[in-house]
Structure 1
């Protein structure tokens, strides 16, 4: 799952990382504060992961789900 996450201060990324890494069933794959992007692999629902992100104090929006990093199997396309 990929989320757009508002990380407006240096501590925000650390808070997001702590919220996700402390949760069973969630693996943090990528955390990019400059791009305000978080990529996770999870056995939880997207809504639950979004709730974890927002409970860390940051606004989060689901950007995409499913598929492999090269885009196969993902929704949409151009």
Structure 2
């Protein structure tokens, strides 16, 4: 079952958010991604675990951390 996870990701430009979209978009298990540049938050709906998603986000080279499951 897919869960919605929130991550804090330091993004300074459209290139940063584009990189986040690209790495998450490659995964079949990711069904939805929302990026809030102003709040520096990425919301991901996926069947992957928070740890797996965080590892994927770290591949962008951006500083990131797990916030929690969005209610």
TM-score (ref. length: structure 2)? 0.84
Pick the structure with more strand per residue.
2
Whether 2:4 is the aligned partner of 1:14: answer: no
CA RMSD of aligned residues (A): 1.3
TM-score between the two structures when normalised by the length of structure 1 = 0.77
Task: Structure 1 unaligned segments of length 5 or more: list them.
Answer: 68-78
1:43 equivalent in structure 2: 47
In the TM superposition, residue 66 of structure 1 has moved relative to its aligned partner by 4.9
The higher-RCO structure (CA 8 Å, 6+ apart) is: 2
Q: Report how many aligned residue pairs link the two structures.
A: 67
* Structure-1 residue corresponding to 2:27: 23
